[in-house]
Amino acid sequence: MTATALDGKATRDEIFSDLRGRVEALTAAGRTPGLGTILVGDDPGSQAYVRGKHADCAKLGIASIRRDLPADATSADIDAAIDDLNADPACTGYIVQLPLPNHVDATAALERIDPRKDADGLHPVNLGRLVLGAPAPLPCTPRGVIHLLRRYDIPLDGARVVVVGRGVTIGRTIGLLLTRRSENATVTLCHTGTRDLAAEVSRADIVVAAAGSPHLITPDMVAPGAAVVDVGVSRTDAGLVGDVHPDVWEVAGHVSPNPGGVGPLTRAFLLVNVVEQAESEVAASAGAPV
Ligand SMILES: Nc1nc2c(c(=O)[nH]1)N[C@@H](CN(C=O)c1ccc(C(=O)N[C@@H](CCC(=O)O)C(=O)O)cc1)CN2
């Protein structure tokens, strides 16, 4: 058996063709959406991700605002860039590219973002709103994973989902989304303290691997026919390596390739969040309920 690929690029293209018309409508209404990024340092991965986000903006007619700071930028420098984007009317929403250098308090940086401009959905106010079930921008990678599973008709209602990894951009947040009534999945969050990872993963209908540990998920762990979403990325001498061993394709029913699976959707949903924010501002200024 060879698994069906969960094709993130084709799914991204569908999302972009929908966004194109929405951006045109916003521009016609005098409200061109704008994405801002704050990048600190010269990590090649982060630089490539930020470049990709601005290339996407150019394709869709979304305005781009970049603030690139050196690796030795102080917290005060980063605060100034955040304050600048909070005040910039051309910037609908923005992100602080993670990870930040070790000398910077990433939580303090995320807390300083105006929650109305939090395109990543990672501000504590927005995470709190998500817990409460109130409208909020949703974190991009979890949103992309759920969209991808739905596009391939993988049932979520009642599904046993095992998430591996507890990072803020996916592991900690995807459970909040998957356990909403609209998704109704049962989620187990595994991490380096999990006693028997193989036993947990083998019970899953859906595995979301987001540990950043090359080939952590091996075929013996995966139930035949399960859907396996490979989110983790490690840069090795052999190039980019995901969390899922290639032999998993022989056991699973669906697998997201890596690259070409979730990554393109992380980028796409960032722009969806920005466009949704611009649309809700237009609706609010027209007096409609948002
Ligand atoms: N503020 C944030 N920082 C980070 C996030 C995030 O969502 N918000 N996520 C990751 C990095 N990331 C976006 O920022 C990201 C990762 C991967 C991709 C992507 O398209 N990957 C491609 C392969 C790209 C390559 O060849 O290098 C793929 O999977 O096909 C986009 C965005 C951490 N930081």
| Domain annotation covers residue 4 | no
Residue 53 among the catalytic residues: yes
The CA distances from residue 203 to 34, 159, 172, 207, in Å, are 43, 10, 20, 9
Counting from 1 in the atom list of ligand 1, the atom nearest the Cα of 98 is 3
- pLDDT above 90 as % of the chain: 97
Q: Is the pLDDT of residue 288 over 80?
A: no
Domain that holds residue 57: 16-129+265-285
| Domain annotation covers residue 104 | yes
| Domain annotation covers residue 181 | yes
Q: Is the pLDDT of residue 271 over 70?
A: yes
Number of domains in the chain: 2
287 band by pLDDT with thresholds 50, 70 and 90: confident
- Angle, alpha carbons 89-93-95 (nearest 5°): 130
157 and 183: one domain?
yes
Q: For ligand 1, atom 9, which residue shows the shortest CA distance?
A: 169
**Element spanning 128, H or E:** helix 124-132
216 and 276: one domain?
no
Instruction: Report the predicted TM-score, pTM, of the whole model to 2 decimal places.
Output: 0.96
50 and 124: one domain?
yes
Over residues 21-31, the pLDDT tens digits come to: 999 999 999 99
106 and 191: one domain?
no
216 and 165: one domain?
yes
178 contacts: CB under 8 Å, gap ≥ 6: 142, 146, 156, 161, 185, 187
Counting from 1 in the atom list of ligand 1, the atom nearest the Cα of 99 is 34
Q: Are 254 and 230 within 8 A, CB to CB?
A: no
Q: Which of 56, 118, 120, 243 is catalytic?
A: 120
232 band by pLDDT with thresholds 50, 70 and 90: very high
Mean pLDDT, all residues of the chain: 97
In 3D space, the residue among 133, 101, 106, 104 whose CA is nearest the CA of residue 120 turns out to be 106
Q: Are 76 and 87 within 8 A, CB to CB?
A: no
Crossing angle of the two packed helices 140-151 and 171-178, in degrees rounded to 10? 50
Q: Is the pLDDT of residue 197 over 90?
A: yes
Question: Which residue out of 82, 97, 113, 269 has the highest number of ligand 1 atoms within 8 Å of its CB and is therefore the one to mutate?
Answer: 97
74 and 112: one domain?
yes
Over residues 129-165, the pLDDT tens digits come to: 999 999 999 999 999 999 999 999 999 999 999 999 9
Q: Is the pLDDT of residue 171 over 80?
A: yes
Residue 277 among the catalytic residues: no
29 and 71: one domain?
yes
42 and 153: one domain?
no
Over residues 76-131, the pLDDT tens digits come to: 999 999 999 999 999 999 999 999 999 999 999 999 999 999 999 999 999 999 99
CATH of the domain at 89: 3.40.50.10860
CA 102 to chain centre: 22
145: alpha, beta or left? (left if phi > 0; alpha if psi -120 to 50): alpha
Q: Is the pLDDT of residue 289 over 70?
A: no
Q: What share of residues in the chain are helix, strand, coil (percent, to 5)?
A: 45, 15, 40
| Domain annotation covers residue 2 | no
- Angle, alpha carbons 278-282-287 (nearest 5°): 145
Q: What is the pLDDT of residue 180?
A: 96
Question: Which residue out of 37, 40, 49 has the highest number of ligand 1 atoms within 8 Å of its CB and is therefore the one to mutate?
Answer: 49
| Domain annotation covers residue 134 | no
| Domain annotation covers residue 180 | yes
Check if the interface score ipTM surpasses 0.90: yes
121 and 47: one domain?
yes
Distance 210 CA to ligand 1 centre (A): 12
The DSSP call for residue 250 is: G
Q: What is the pLDDT of residue 204?
A: 98
Q: Mean pLDDT throughout 53-63?
A: 98
Q: Are 217 and 245 within 8 A, CB to CB?
A: yes
